[in-house]
C-alpha cells in the first residue's frame, strides 16, 4: 500500500490544482490544505506559488501558516518549493521593495537584469545539473523545464545550488538543502521531466 501523503499548502495563491493533479497522475495522495494537523501528519509537504512575494508572505501570515511551514521544514520530511515557493524560503526579496521571507535558506531574491531579453523569463529552458540529489535522479543532461518568473533566488551558500539555467546570465534554477528541494521552474507544467522530478520527490523519505 502506498503510504505517501502529500500536503500542498494552500495560502490562496498559486496553481494548486495542477500540482495536485500531477501527483495524483503518478498515483499519490495529494491534499490541498491550510490545516496545521494535515500539514504536520503528511509524509511530504509542497509549497507552491504564483504571484507577488509580499502578497504571498501577507497571506501566509494572515492564515497562520508560517509556523506550520517552519515546523514542516524542521521536521525532516521531504519539502518541495515550487517557483515562488522557492523564493519564499529565502531571507528577503527585493520585489516591490524589500520584504522578509521565511528565512530558512539564507539569501536574497533579485530581479533579472537581462539587457535585451524579455522579463518575465517565460517558456522552456534547459537545466544544468550542478550536484547529484535524489529529486534529480534520472533526469537527462539536457532536461527542459517550464519557467514563468521575473525574480530569482541568490543563496548565500552557492553550494546549495542544485541546477542552473541561463537567461542573460546564469541563475540558480533549483536549490537543495537537507530535506528541502526547491525549484524556480514548474515541474507540474514540465511534462515528462517534471513528472519524473515529482515522482522522485514523492519517493524521498
Determine the CATH number of domain 5-203.
Answer: 3.40.50.880
Please indicate whether residue 183 is annotated as part of the active site. Answer: no
Q: Mind listing the pLDDT tens digit for each residue in 124-147?
A: 999 999 999 999 999 998 899 999
Judge whether residue 156 has pLDDT over 60: yes
Where is pLDDT greater, at 66 or 3?
66
Question: Is residue 188 flagged as an active site residue?
Answer: yes
Q: If DSSP codes are grouped into helix, strand and coil, which group holds residue 1?
A: coil
pLDDT digits (tens, 9 = 90+) for 28-55: 999 999 999 999 999 999 999 888 999 9
The answer to whether 53 and 109 have CB atoms below 8 angstroms apart is: yes
Q: What is the distance between the alpha carbons of residues 90 and 78, in angstroms, rounded to a whole number? A: 17
Catalytic residue among 83, 95, 121, 149: 83
2, pLDDT greater than 60: no
Residue 57, classed as helix, strand or coil, is helix
Q: How confident is the model at residue 12 (pLDDT cuts 50, 70, 90)?
A: confident
Q: What pTM value is reported for the model?
A: 0.96
Which entry of 44, 121, 183, 188 is annotated as an active-site residue? 188
Tell me, yes or no, if 83 is annotated catalytic: yes
Question: 20: closest CA among 43, 50, 48?
Answer: 48
Q: Which residues contact 14 (CB under 8 A, 6 or more apart)?
A: 48, 49, 50, 51, 82, 83, 84, 85
Amino acid at each position: 500500500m502506498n503510504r505517501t501523503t502529500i500536503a500542498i499548502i494552500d495560502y490562496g495563491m498559486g496553481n494548486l490544482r495542477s500540482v495536485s493533479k500531477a501527483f495524483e497522475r503518478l498515483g499519490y495522495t495529494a491534499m490541498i490544505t491550510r490545516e496545521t494537523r494535515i500539514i504536520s501528519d503528511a509524509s511530504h509537504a509542497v509549497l507552491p506559488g504564483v504571484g507577488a512575494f509580499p502578497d504571498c508572505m501577507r497571506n501566509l501570515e494572515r492564515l497562520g501558516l508560517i509556523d506550520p511551514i517552519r515546523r514542516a521544514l524542521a521536521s525532516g520530511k521531504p519539502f518541495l518549493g515550487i517557483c515562488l515557493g522557492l523564493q519564499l524560503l529565502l531571507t528577503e526579496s527585493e520585489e516591490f521593495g524589500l520584504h522578509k521571507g521565511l528565512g530558512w535558506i539564507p539569501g536574497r531574491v533579485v530581479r533579472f537584469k537581462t539587457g535585451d531579453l524579455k522579463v518575465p523569463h517565460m517558456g522552456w529552458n534547459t537545466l544544468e545539473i550542478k550536484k547529484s540529489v535524489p529529486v534529480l535522479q534520472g533526469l537527462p543532461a539536457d532536461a527542459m523545464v517550464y519557467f514563468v518568473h521575473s525574480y530569482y533566488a541568490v543563496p548565500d551558500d552557492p553550494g546549495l545550488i542544485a541546477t542552473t539555467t541561463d537567461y542573460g546570465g546564469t541563475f540558480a534554477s533549483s536549490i537543495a538543502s537537507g530535506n528541502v528541494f526547491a525549484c524556480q521552474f514548474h515541474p507540474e507544467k514540465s511534462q515528462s521531466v517534471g513528472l519524473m522530478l515529482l515522482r522522485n520527490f514523492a519517493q524521498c523519505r
